[in-house]
Amino acid sequence: MSALKNKVAIVTGASSGIGFSTAKLFAREGARVVVGARRQSQLDELVEEIAAEGGEAVVLAGDVKDADYAHALVELATSHYGGLDVAFNNAGILGAPGPITEMTLAEWDETIATNLSSAFLCARYQIPAMQKRGGGSIIFTSSFVGYTAGMPGMAAYSASKAGLIGLSQSLAAEYGSAGIRVNALLPGGTDTAMSRQFASTPESLAFVQGLHAMKRIADPDEIAQSALYLASAQSSFTTGTAMLVDGGVSINRT
Question: What residues are labeled active site?
Answer: 157
**Helix-then-strand count for the chain, H and E:** 9, 7
Question: How far apart (Å, rounded) are the C-alpha atoms in residues 196 and 183?
Answer: 26
β pairing state of 56-61 and 32-37: parallel
CB 37 within 8 A of CB 14: yes
Secondary structure (3-state) at 135: coil
Q: Where are the beta strands (DSSP E) in 14-85?
A: 32-37, 56-61
* CA dist list (Å): 182 to 1, 165, 237: 24, 10, 11
Smallest CA-to-CA distance from 158 within 170, 144, 141, 140 is with 144
Question: How far apart (Å, rounded) are the C-alpha atoms in residues 237 and 42?
Answer: 35
